[in-house]
Structure 1
């Protein structure tokens, strides 16, 4: 005999068997098979397997090797890679577009299709047309990561809605999502190096393209279970959400403009100058729009991200140049540099998570952030040993040193990263969690990208400009000095840690956070001159109901339509 609940679960979930009768069967019964398939396609397959968690995997790891084919200097390589990864920094703009500009009454389903078509087309062009100019190749990379980032955002919006209706199943669903992403990441990392070593640098894209094409099923099967509804375009540009809408729009367009400038024109000095202007505008605008406590925390993380001057473009050439290009170098193979190091990084990041959960959960925020920054600085300074070739003189092999140092760095990075994520989550007022988290995470990604621009300028100033051409040993003479600056610079914002970070335990709630923009300069300006009052985020649902009711009262037509 089956209970009524069990019968409903069988009707909604086609997954059966001893493996799925427990965890997956419960998820299927709680959320339905469509949501799980949506997550499987957009998160596990696209974000996990294709993108290696976001910026790596089959589509991200080969980028530097493809840039080598064009003899791109190290500084420009960093700028180009940052430009194509900009979509991760402008997710708030994507969210604003999807929420404010429905297509035929749909806010999500059509955007899944548009992004999938653009991304899959770009992947096939990268894989099959080796004669693409550098600018067109970079544009294709941009479309690929736009597909991944936007699909990730839309999926987050869908499962967030389901989580609010079934909060008791939230931990299980999150475990399914991130566990699946982790498995996808491990699979792609283990194979990408082998593919490039034996079949060429573009071969991973032949695997990524059909895998990414499966996301078209999201639209064809209507996995978000979205129905066409009446609405007004640009509804997010009014009411109490106007400050966040303004921030998302201005920063998103600014970052997009910087990406296009980086790909299609301008010298390095111009690009770095524009990056600096964008940094000032973004920090100033967010600080003016958000409630003071959120603005302070965002300012600390944003400044620290910018100060993390990346030197990855030069270190890539340092580790992968062959005997002809750099006779004294490590000469790491593609398999080792991508797959072996990637697998070690993934495994040891789990150790960092265990250490944090076991011993550091009760630390106060300022102290754990200081500890994480100090440990990261020490670990990064150790890289000077390999850049000066001291490890070789001490009889330590490059492969052992790289794996050991990378393992320690990943443990430290996880310890430093987890409190940041926890604090950002606590800074999201009830009622606008998704919007606020997207904005804060987007600012963090933008800061990291801008740090790559400033790191590129550092490499240019120090004359570290390898291109993968023969006999470029002299290009690495000052790489150790760039590494020292890159390691020490993130320590500078620690002088502000007690001013900008709340001195509370990670277990304590942040009190008095009722709105995303309460008390902000922009909110006061809009209230004074435009009569737009800020309301607590808890009341956002009631406000939306009032807006819908008002729209229905003013709409004399019974037809389903969208008024643009």
Structure 2
């Protein structure tokens, strides 16, 4: 097997499997610590959209070269990220008593490790894509492969989580994932980066000059309108939409009394949809206009949100559709529809990036997305408070979802910020 695919596949598989302990976290917060929906919402934002609040603190400007460790620029950082995750989850599992503050600290540390690993893997994908004569199809194929690896792991993780959540304690589930992350650490440590066949960079400059060069490179890349506008639009399309995932989790489990297996199946269905999207994009849509895809996806998200209004009003139930069926299919898909947008955007940015700036731009994108997720989470808490939603009163949830859907459509007003890359390619060929 291609060593690049092996490293990336394992990396994204482990990251996709993070949903396994995170499902246990949600139930642990609700049942074990008896937290309110707003607090669960904020902590749940730590896992949303494959990003983390502390990712902006990761030295994104250095991600392109990853200051070499033992003459390797990528894999040591994947290993460090895996080790941090292992330490975090194992610590949560073995500590005799744990407070909310301690739990939050280890969750943040785990996400720091996940962020470092993800940025390093994104840089590997971007650099590998540049080695094939800037072929958009090759870059898209590798990007799709990574998504398929993560999605397949997400399906397994959510399915197992829904099954074992009533059979195993959350601490046992945390320990299992911690050991999996530890195995990834040992696998990466035993792997030689030279087998990835990345070009050797001939430079005798000091680390300080290397850092200055990276700052110069990322500044140059972000001055390109098609790059900073694309990132700005994507960030706004997430950040200005208040998310109500924590509130919906309470509504489904407390108000509707749905079993944990239904929640697990919902997430499995969502991951299956993500896997199907990865395959469909690679086979059918990688030559489609990114602007068109993002427009359709944003509208689809708004449509699904409006469908949730009918759900909370009980209209679907009156029509004979069980709540469990709706949650399994539609709620699962809605949760991952936001992630659908990331795949075509990453492929677009990989094509737009100047040579040598791929990793830094990808890290900046993930940082911007992480900050957007934070903002979206706080807006969701504020919206829930505004419409009067609490753990015992969900009468205003329908109004909140309508407001949420309206804000989802606003970014379409400046969708023109996404460049029509395909037209540019055609002009160059002519």
Q: Distance in 2 between matches of 1:202 and 1:193?
A: 15
Unmatched runs of 5 consecutive residues or more in structure 1: 1-23, 52-56, 248-285, 322-328, 467-471, 513-564
- Mapping of residues 26-45 of structure 1, within 5 Å: 27=2, 31=3, 38-39=7-8, 41-44=10-13
Q: Equivalent of 1:495, from 413, 416, 429?
A: 413
Who is 1:14 aligned against? none
Secondary structure of the structure 2 residue equivalent to 1:238? helix
RMSD, matched Cα: 3.7
- Mapping of residues 108-127 of structure 1, within 5 Å: 108=74, 110-127=76-93
Q: Distance in 1 between matches of 2:126 and 2:366?
A: 16
In 2 relative to 1, CA 220–301 (structure 1 residues): closer, same or farther, beyond 3 Å?
closer
**How far is 1:479 from its partner?**
1.2
Q: Distance in 2 between matches of 1:164 and 1:423?
A: 13
Contact 2:90 / 2:175 at 8 angstroms: preserved in 1? yes
In 2 relative to 1, CA 80–187 (structure 1 residues): closer, same or farther, beyond 3 Å?
closer
**How far is 1:344 from its partner?**
1.6
Q: Equivalent of 2:250, from 311, 317, 325?
A: 317
Unmatched runs of 5 consecutive residues or more in structure 2: none
Q: Distance in 2 between matches of 1:352 and 1:176?
A: 11
Q: Equivalent of 2:28, from 63, 66, 72?
A: 66
**How far is 1:352 from its partner?**
4.6
Q: Per-residue CA shift, 1:297-322, capped at 9, x if unaligned?
A: 2222222211221011111111111x
In 2 relative to 1, CA 359–214 (structure 1 residues): closer, same or farther, beyond 3 Å?
closer
User: How many residues align structurally?
Assistant: 415
Larger RCO of the pair (alpha carbons < 8 Å, separation 6+): 2
Q: Equivalent of 1:200, from 125, 148, 169?
A: 169
Q: Per-residue CA shift, 1:143-167, capped at 9, x if unaligned?
A: 1122222123334445655565567
Contact 1:352 / 1:412 at 8 angstroms: preserved in 2? no
Report the TM-score, using the length of structure 2 for normalisation.
0.81
Contact 1:300 / 1:496 at 8 angstroms: preserved in 2? yes
Report the TM-score, using the length of structure 1 for normalisation.
0.64
Q: Distance in 1 between matches of 2:37 and 2:382?
A: 10
Q: Distance in 2 between matches of 1:365 and 1:220?
A: 37
In 2 relative to 1, CA 392–76 (structure 1 residues): closer, same or farther, beyond 3 Å?
same
Secondary structure of the structure 1 residue equivalent to 2:425? coil
Q: Distance in 1 between matches of 2:140 and 2:288?
A: 24
Q: Equivalent of 2:42, from 79, 83, 96?
A: 79
Largest Rg, 1 or 2: 1
Contact 1:113 / 1:219 at 8 angstroms: preserved in 2? yes
Q: Distance in 2 between matches of 1:43 and 1:129?
A: 28
Q: Distance in 1 between matches of 2:188 and 2:283?
A: 43
Contact 1:300 / 1:497 at 8 angstroms: preserved in 2? yes
Q: Distance in 1 between matches of 2:184 and 2:234?
A: 34
In 2 relative to 1, CA 400–505 (structure 1 residues): closer, same or farther, beyond 3 Å?
same
Q: Distance in 2 between matches of 1:140 and 1:61?
A: 16
**How far is 1:95 from its partner?**
5.9
Who is 2:396 aligned against? 478
